[in-house]
Amino acid sequence: MAGFLRSRLTARPDPSHVPLPVISHPQSKEINHAKEGSITPLIYRYRTAIALLSSILLWNYIFANDNRNEESDLQAKTKAPMGDIVYGAKSKGDDTARLVKEAIQSGFRHIATGGFHFEYNETGVGQGWIESGVPRNELYLQTLFVSQSTENYGVLNCLLEAVCPPLSGMSIEEQVKLSVQSSLHNLQTDYIDSVLVHNFRAKLQPYEETLRAWKVLEDYVDKGIIRHLGIVSVHDKEYLTKLHNDARIKPTIIQNRFHSNRSYDINLRPVFKELGFEQNQLFWILTGSAGGKVRNNEVVTKLAIEKGVSNQVLLYSFTMQLGGTPLIGSKSLDHMKEDFDALVKNKLNLKRDELIAMASVLNKNLIQS
Ligand SMILES: NC(=O)c1ccc[n+]([C@@H]2O[C@H](COP(=O)([O-])OP(=O)(O)OC[C@H]3O[C@@H](n4cnc5c(N)ncnc54)[C@H](OP(=O)(O)O)[C@@H]3O)[C@@H](O)[C@H]2O)c1
> 78 in helix, strand or coil?
coil
pLDDT per residue over 279-319, tens digit each? 999 999 999 999 999 999 999 999 999 999 999 999 999 99
Q: 320 φ, ψ to 5°?
A: -70, -40
Q: How far is 26 from 45, CA to CA, in rounded Å? A: 10
The residue segments making up the domain with residue 209 are 79-366
Q: How many CA atoms lie within 13 A of 81 on its CB side?
A: 5
Residue 12 domain-assigned (yes or no): no
Q: How far is 328 from 347, CA to CA, in rounded Å? A: 16
The letter for the amino acid at 18 is V
pTM of the model: 0.83
Q: Is the CB of 331 under 6 A from ligand 1?
A: yes
Minimal CA–CA distance to 307: which of 365, 355, 265, 274? 355
Q: How far is 337 from 317, CA to CA, in rounded Å? A: 15
pLDDT per residue over 39-59, tens digit each? 455 555 665 555 555 444 444
Q: How far is 188 from 79, CA to CA, in rounded Å? A: 16
Mark the ranges of the chain whose per-residue pLDDT is less than 70: 1-76, 369
Q: How far is 349 from 153, CA to CA, in rounded Å? A: 39
Do 40 and 173 reside in the same domain of the chain? no
Question: How many domains, in total, are found in the chain?
Answer: 2
Do 348 and 317 reside in the same domain of the chain? yes
Q: Is the CB of 120 under 6 A from ligand 1?
A: no
Output the furthest CA–CA distance in the chain (Å, rounded).
100
Q: How far is 317 from 355, CA to CA, in rounded Å? A: 10
Query: What was the pLDDT predicted at 217?
Result: 98
Residue 209 domain-assigned (yes or no): yes
- 92 CA to centre of ligand 1 in angstroms: 11
Query: What was the pLDDT predicted at 44?
Result: 56
Do 233 and 178 reside in the same domain of the chain? yes
Cβ atoms of residues 252 and 277 within 8 Å: yes
Do 35 and 99 reside in the same domain of the chain? no
Q: Is the CB of 55 under 6 A from ligand 1?
A: no
Neighbouring residues of 263: CB distance < 8 A, sequence distance ≥ 6: 363, 365
Which residue minimizes the CA distance to atom 37 of ligand 1? Answer: 330
Ligand 1 mutation pick, 201, 283, 340, max ligand atoms within 8 A of CB: 283
Do 348 and 261 reside in the same domain of the chain? yes
Do 215 and 110 reside in the same domain of the chain? yes
Residue 334 domain-assigned (yes or no): yes
Do 129 and 71 reside in the same domain of the chain? no
Q: Is the CB of 151 under 6 A from ligand 1?
A: no
Q: How far is 84 from 328, CA to CA, in rounded Å? A: 11
Do 28 and 149 reside in the same domain of the chain? no
Count of CB atoms within 10 A of residue 58's CB? Answer: 13
Count of CB atoms within 10 A of residue 157's CB? Answer: 25
> 329 in helix, strand or coil?
coil
Residue 355 domain-assigned (yes or no): yes
Residue 8 domain-assigned (yes or no): no
Do 111 and 179 reside in the same domain of the chain? yes
Do 104 and 182 reside in the same domain of the chain? yes
Residue 16 domain-assigned (yes or no): no
> Which DSSP state fits 203?
B
Query: What was the pLDDT predicted at 207?
Result: 95
The letter for the amino acid at 253 is I
Cβ atoms of residues 158 and 189 within 8 Å: no
Do 204 and 296 reside in the same domain of the chain? yes
Residue 226 domain-assigned (yes or no): yes
Which CATH number fits the domain that encloses residue 341?
A: 3.20.20.100
Q: How many CA atoms lie within 13 A of 184 on its CB side?
A: 14
Residue 10 domain-assigned (yes or no): no
Do 45 and 152 reside in the same domain of the chain? no
Minimal CA–CA distance to 223: which of 159, 287, 180, 270? 180
Query: What was the pLDDT predicted at 245?
Result: 98
CA 342 to chain centre: 25
pLDDT per residue over 170-185, tens digit each? 999 999 999 999 999 9
Residue at a domain's end among 13, 44, 78? 78
- 133 CA to centre of ligand 1 in angstroms: 24
